[in-house]
Structure 1
């Protein structure tokens, strides 16, 4: 049993003892409490499966494409933003549902918003390294005719996409106006280094799958993320079971769960770089991460920067993101009262992140 599991049982036992249960009844009482929790978990899963919500936002026009990747144009009349999401989740978390779309909100506020949807890795992309994604596809998107016609964009990178955006910004600063990093990791050993090293230690066992399919499968990626906080999965479904199914909170929960369950495989070379190099050796935090042979050094960035760090992030601990933010020479650091996903699409995302990001963008020189 994990330390968190033992702590949970100890908490339950202490609460029951305080309520007057004699010691010889504690075991039965603990099992009874856990049984009630299991029933709530099953009820939450069943409620999620039968919920009628389905995302129906149409895709915006495609401005440029290459391989499985598309540059989606959300419109807007202002200076351009080019948003770079992670490689392992669908890009539409930033355009989740009406009222929870950072991209449509920014476009309505006057920014010209472009989203690089990496897409499903095909035969070509399954051989990609991080250099292929950064010095290849991302830089070609920036240099494409439609983007150039709009003027120099601000790169906005979310999570892993922030690391790719940073590497591109260091390579091509003359093509950009600024760089915004949202919940972007850097020091992978800042918190619980053993857990990060434990993820890297799984890599030899994953090699047969990587070699056979050319990718790290979606189910494996979800298993790795679930291992970061295994109790959180059960807790959120128990909480969902108690929500009115026709309420806004229930619809948002289902929208986010549908997105989380709609993942993308990771190209095998990138999986090796991320698990072995980032999590195992902590190459970024140690100043050893390289793209196209050049060191990715945040201190060398010459562009204005914005770094949003969620205080309640369980995926990218704040200490990991702050290690990057504090190395940027000209950065506005925004501590966000939200979690990793809530900062982008949660019920308080507009006040917590969208508005501060918009104010920073409005103050950039054209």
Structure 2
């Protein structure tokens, strides 16, 4: 192979193109307003401390007889499921006829330092489920748990199976010790007690930094270099900024709940292996006997597919279905493929069990 030859004319043309993009982008940036999210109308049906349960309103009345409550993770804001009009799991489920509620956890502060997983699962989630059931006039509801919220939903369904008609888990970790689980490998030998005793609530910026450094080139460099290509497209730029706003709009984590989640889930793998205590209740996934739909992402770098697949052999349900989605941890909510595939799959599965 001979020496690399630079095409001076080509380099100059690329530089000119780049300069034009930047110039046009500066003009577009000057026209942008603050990006908004959460496009679907909703009403408050329950409030406790910082938690609010909302019911979403679609363009028509729901045809589903059983409401579905979305339980999101604590580490991010739940509006990812209703990010914008053409990227909304909520909006598409409503269009299918489902009756959708959601827990908004709010932003924990120092007053929440001592909240435990028992407070979240047997407290907040239990009372939210009861509130939705009362509001809808039913005895049981469907629960849709997402990521960490899916792990919480599994615990809740194992402890209170009489309250859950159908359980749906999305990108939910079950086996926390799969070899490709980078977060688990990082935290396996972490002194969770010293960590929480020292800093109390876990700062959101620290959590975000950990997630971003799982893919540093892609999440800290490449996406911002690629942003130049859309600087002159107002719609695409707004979409990019809306996602960035969600990524960095993360709540702090209540110290005691974080301590237990680290020790019992990431380090002890007790959700799968057993011995997990939530308050006075031991979690046995064999008690999850209601129908279960498990949806995971094949290119998920936060929750590896094998971590979610482990649910099949752990639950006691005889009605278990799993769906592998071709995409990543975030794409399962917002990609075009997800909008076309995921909501109809959930609706069809629920309808068959109505």
Shorter chain as normaliser: what TM range? 0.7 to 0.9
Counting matched residue pairs gives 327
What corresponds to 2:11 in structure 1? none
Q: Distance in 2 between matches of 1:162 and 1:204?
A: 22
- Which among 166, 172, 187 is matched to residue 154 of structure 2? 166
- The structural deviation recorded for 1:301 is 1.1
TM-score, with length taken from structure 1 = 0.80
Say yes or no: does 1:186 pair with 2:174: yes
Say yes or no: does 1:265 pair with 2:252: yes
SS at match of 2:143: strand
**Mapping of 1:1-366 within 5 angstroms?**
20-21=3-4, 52=33, 54-57=35-38, 60-75=42-57, 76-77=61-62, 78=64, 79-144=66-131, 147=134, 149-151=136-138, 152-192=140-180, 196-203=184-191, 207=195, 210-211=196-197, 214-233=200-219, 234-243=221-230, 245-246=232-233, 248-328=235-315, 329=317, 330-365=319-354
Q: Distance in 2 between matches of 1:150 and 1:20?
A: 76
Q: Distance in 2 between matches of 1:19 and 1:128?
A: 65
Cα–Cα, structure 1 residues 19 and 97, in superposed 2: closer, same or farther, change >3 Å? farther
Cα–Cα, structure 1 residues 352 and 197, in superposed 2: closer, same or farther, change >3 Å? same
| Alignment check: 8 A CA contact 1:83 1:116 kept | yes
Greater shift, 264-273 or 234-243, is seen at: 234-243
Cα–Cα, structure 1 residues 240 and 202, in superposed 2: closer, same or farther, change >3 Å? farther
| Alignment check: 8 A CA contact 1:68 1:122 kept | no
- Structure 1 gaps, min length 5: 1-17, 23-35
Q: Distance in 2 between matches of 1:136 and 1:334?
A: 30
| Alignment check: 8 A CA contact 1:338 1:352 kept | no
Greater shift, 145-154 or 180-189, is seen at: 145-154
Q: Distance in 2 between matches of 1:83 and 1:279?
A: 23
| Alignment check: 8 A CA contact 2:169 2:293 kept | yes
SS at match of 2:262: helix
Cα–Cα, structure 1 residues 231 and 201, in superposed 2: closer, same or farther, change >3 Å? farther
Q: Distance in 2 between matches of 1:257 and 1:68?
A: 24
| Alignment check: 8 A CA contact 1:80 1:150 kept | no
- The structural deviation recorded for 1:249 is 4.2
Q: Distance in 2 between matches of 1:362 and 1:335?
A: 20
- The structural deviation recorded for 1:149 is 3.8
Greater shift, 335-344 or 293-302, is seen at: 293-302
| Alignment check: 8 A CA contact 1:126 1:267 kept | yes
- Structure 2 gaps, min length 5: 6-14
- The structural deviation recorded for 1:293 is 3.4
SS at match of 2:264: helix
- The structural deviation recorded for 1:144 is 2.3
